[in-house]
């Protein structure tokens, strides 16, 4: 098992490392630019330039039983299709049962924003979101370890 992190805009990198340490799980931090910080469990990978290059790199390397931390719903759909698990930075897991509806809602919200029906985005990141993420990632790692 590895935990892949879509790292450029991820607000929970430290929390990922905390859970990874607890379970001795390697982390692959993928970004479009070099990110500071070192940890013995973290492999940093800088994706080549280009649209979706970091996403493509994650999809190429992910395997069934891996976990991907991302708020990018299309990326989550791609890794779930490969048999991996995904979770967003607010602790919402994506799986085969939920990803179709999540993609449909994303597309609907994009359309509503483009037509001016909705002008705002998601709410700001709160301490409760960080707590939900820690709990969600811990639960997901334990489930993968148990083979569920």
**54-66 pLDDT, tens per residue?**
999 999 999 999 9
β-strand partners of 5? 29, 69
Classified as helix, coil or strand, 133 is helix
The mean pLDDT value for 106-124 works out to 68
The mean pLDDT value for 117-146 works out to 87
| Least confident segment among 13-17, 47-51, 101-105 | 101-105
- The pTM of this model reads 0.84
The answer on pLDDT for 11 being more than 80 is yes
Q: How many Å apart are CA 3 and CA 84, to the nearest integer? A: 10
The mean pLDDT value for 114-137 works out to 83
Structure-model confidence comparison of residues 120 and 98, the more confident one: 98
| E strand map for 1-145 | 3-6, 27-31, 42-46, 67-69, 85-87, 93-94
pLDDT at 95: 81
| E strand map for the chain | 3-6, 27-31, 42-46, 67-69, 85-87, 93-94
The answer on pLDDT for 110 being more than 70 is no
pLDDT at 102: 67
Residue 13: pLDDT band with limits 50, 70, 90: very high
Q: Where are the domains of the chain?
A: 3-146
pLDDT at 54: 93
The answer on pLDDT for 48 being more than 80 is yes
The mean pLDDT value for 66-82 works out to 93
Domain 3-146 CATH (choose: 3.40.50, 3.40.720, 3.30.360, 3.80.10): 3.40.50
The answer on pLDDT for 121 being more than 80 is no
Residue 142: pLDDT band with limits 50, 70, 90: very high
């Amino acid at each position: 098992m590895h935990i892949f992190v879509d790292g450029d805009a991820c607000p929970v990198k430290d929390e990922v490392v905390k859970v990874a340490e607890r379970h001795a799980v390697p982390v692959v931090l993928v970004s479009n630019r070099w990110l500071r910080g070192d940890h013995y469990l973290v492999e940093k990978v800088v994706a080549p330039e280009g649209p979706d290059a970091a996403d493509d790199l994650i999809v190429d390397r992910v395997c069934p039983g891996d976990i991907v931390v991302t708020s990018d719903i299309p990326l989550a759909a791609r890794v779930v299709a490969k048999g991996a698990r995904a979770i967003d930075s607010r602790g919402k897991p994506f799986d085969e049962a939920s990803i179709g509806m999540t993609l449909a809602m994303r597309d609907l919200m994009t359309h509503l924003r483009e037509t001016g029906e909705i002008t705002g985005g998601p709410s700001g990141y709160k301490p409760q979101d960080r707590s939900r993420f820690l709990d969600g990632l811990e639960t997901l790692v334990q489930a993968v370890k148990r083979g569920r």
